[in-house]
Amino acid sequence: MSGGVQIPVRVAAIETVGRDIKRFRLEPRSGEPMPRFSGGSHVVVTMQSGAQTYRNPYSLMGSPDDGSRYEISVLRTGQSRGGSHFMHDTAAVGTALTISHPINLFPIDQRGRKHILIAGGIGITPFMAMAEQLDLLGQPFELHYAMRSAACGAYAESLAARYGRRVHLYQSDQGRRIPLAQLLDHQPLGTHLYVCGPGAMIEWVMSSARGAGWPKESLHFERFLPPPSGTTFEVRLALSNRTVPVGEHESILEAVEAAGIDAPYLCRGGACGQCETAVLSADGELDHMDHYLTPEEKGAGRQIMICVSRLKGRVLELDL
């Protein structure tokens, strides 16, 4: 498959860890150990619900050195396209799933001399493994974790118990907010900053850090975008010589896969660039939703990331 080598797993344990958040322990069906991974990695989980296939990326949050099990956390999203509802409502201990090999688009920059991790809500998950890795390496780090309320802050207590004063918790229902300006000032040269959470929070942290004079190479973020809904259109696939309809709640990638065509992908969230596809023609405006292409590339309209982006028009011709 184009998403790389797939690993058959089964759900070994499910635990409710916060409001609408469940933790799943996944173990290999073969019994063979799974690859070790680096903090910040994710897997794409393939779920089969009858004839319907869902594929969602989830960060790995367990110990990077433990290949006997992987742990992911799933937030039940309000506007779920099916995947998170399947995991919450249908998946049970024993349910068979398939996962991709771990992929890391959000690695620790090992050259850094200090690491500041900023999490918002469910954005805590990649930092679970990153904090463990930094702790093992003996590298200085601070974790700043913002949540709506204690009930929304899965893992807050266990992180605080484990890492002590390196963990800072902020509950917005108690009026506590990350003191970002103070945090960005006076950090020693060689500090790297990582943020994962809602889009507005990432934007706030990144623009504040640039404003505080941080070079962009020291700033790292991860956000997986669920494919947005939109109007229906058709994709004309020049190499396959096929025309495939794309539904309102379906991405181009999903439509192409449903038609039996094996298109390349890795993250399925507009982050990695693997599904970049050349646009041959479009009779409408490309609706670029990824954060991989540069604004110039988006403006030029010669490429599209088919995992999240769409066409506002009728027919899109792709070199696929």
CB of 240 to another protein, least distance (A): 34
CB of 133 to another protein, least distance (A): 17
CA distances (Å), 123 to each of 23, 154, 189, 296, in order? 14, 10, 26, 29
Specify whether the CB–CB gap between 144 and 178 falls below 8 A.
yes
CB of 193 to another protein, least distance (A): 8
Query: How many CA atoms within 13 Å lie on the side-chain side of 97?
Result: 29
The backbone torsions φ and ψ at residue 263, rounded to the nearest 5 degrees and listed phi first, read -95, 150
Neighbours of 281 (CB within 10 A): 10
204 binds another protein per the rule CB under 8 A: no
Task: Single out the segment in contact with another protein by CB under 8 A; choices: 54-62, 146-154, 156-164, 178-186.
Answer: 178-186
CB of 210 to another protein, least distance (A): 6
Task: Tell which one of 5, 111, 175, 296 touches another protein (CB under 8 A).
Answer: 111
For another protein, how many residues bind (rule: CB under 8 A)? 23
Task: Tell which one of 40, 57, 102, 112 touches another protein (CB under 8 A).
Answer: 112
Task: Single out the segment in contact with another protein by CB under 8 A; choices: 35-43, 82-90, 215-223, 289-297.
Answer: 215-223
The backbone torsions φ and ψ at residue 33, rounded to the nearest 5 degrees and listed phi first, read -65, 145
Tell me which DSSP letter residue 29 carries.
Answer: T
CB of 15 to another protein, least distance (A): 37
Task: Tell which one of 92, 217, 239, 296 touches another protein (CB under 8 A).
Answer: 217
Nearer CB in complex with another protein: 113/176: 113
Task: Tell which one of 50, 175, 215, 260 touches another protein (CB under 8 A).
Answer: 215
CB of 194 to another protein, least distance (A): 14
Task: Single out the segment in contact with another protein by CB under 8 A; choices: 92-100, 122-130, 204-212, 251-259.
Answer: 204-212
Neighbours of 64 (CB within 10 A): 19
The backbone torsions φ and ψ at residue 82, rounded to the nearest 5 degrees and listed phi first, read 130, -35
Residue 67 burial by Cβ neighbours in a 10 Å radius (0-12, 13-18, 19+): middle
Nearer CB in complex with another protein: 212/259: 212
Q: How remote is the C-alpha of 77 from its chain's centroid?
A: 14
- Locate 11 and state its tokens: 């759900």
212 binds another protein per the rule CB under 8 A: yes
CB of 212 to another protein, least distance (A): 6
Task: Tell which one of 56, 218, 251, 277 touches another protein (CB under 8 A).
Answer: 218
State how far the Cα of 213 lies from the Cα of 234, in Å rounded to an integer. Answer: 45
Nearer CB in complex with another protein: 165/216: 216
Helices of type H across 221-301: 252-258, 295-300
State how far the Cα of 162 lies from the Cα of 155, in Å rounded to an integer. Answer: 10
Binding residues vs another protein (CB under 8 A): 109, 111-114, 184-192, 210-218
